Amino acid sequence: KAGVTQTPRYLIKTRGQQVTLSCSPISGHRSVSWYQQTPGQGLQFLFEYFSETQRNKGNFPGRFSGRQFSNSRSEMNVSTLELGDSALYLCASSPLAGAYEQYFGPGTRLTVT
């Protein structure tokens, strides 16, 4: 069974631009969560989607948004990029919302210049 895939793996953007990251969960998994990982703040929860609905949201500004499609694939969008948005963005899937284990993808490394 294929794991969680994230595209693109690496991305370079300039301040003020917007970016869309994609995540395909493990087949059969309906919950997708997004995390931002930076050296200074560590791993921080962005949001979780289940059955196309956002179930939970972390403490991030409204520039960070997401959605989930009927096939459980999820996208995360960041508008008006700031230098501080440079990070590794990790997506994790699990069979159900609140399921015990989350399986992570390889991440998308975003650099904002």
Partner 1 sequence: AQKITQTQPGMFVQEKEAVTLDCTYDTSDPSYGLFWYKQPSSGEMIFLIYQGSYDQQNATEGRYSLNFQKARKSANLVISASQLGDSAMYFCAMRPNTGNQFYFGTGTSLTVIP
Interface ranges with partner 1 (CB under 8 A) = 31, 33, 35, 42-43, 45, 48, 55-56, 58, 88, 90, 92, 97-98, 100-107, 109
Q: How far is CA 56 from CA 45, 60, 80, 105, in A?
A: 9, 12, 23, 20
By C-beta, is 15 or 55 nearer to partner 1?
Answer: 55
Least Å distance, CB 18 to partner 1, is 23
Strand-by-strand arrangement of the 5-7 sheet:
5-7, 19-24, 74-78, 64-68
Question: Least distance to partner 1 from the beta carbon of 107, Å?
Answer: 5
Q: What torsion do the CA atoms of 71, 87, 82, 56 make, to the nearest 10 degrees? A: 50
Cβ 42 to partner 1 shortest distance, Å:
5
Residue 16 or 61: the one with the smaller Cβ distance to partner 1 is: 61
Closer Cβ to partner 1, 58 or 95, answer by number: 58
Whole-angstrom distance, CA of residue 64 vs CA of residue 85:
10
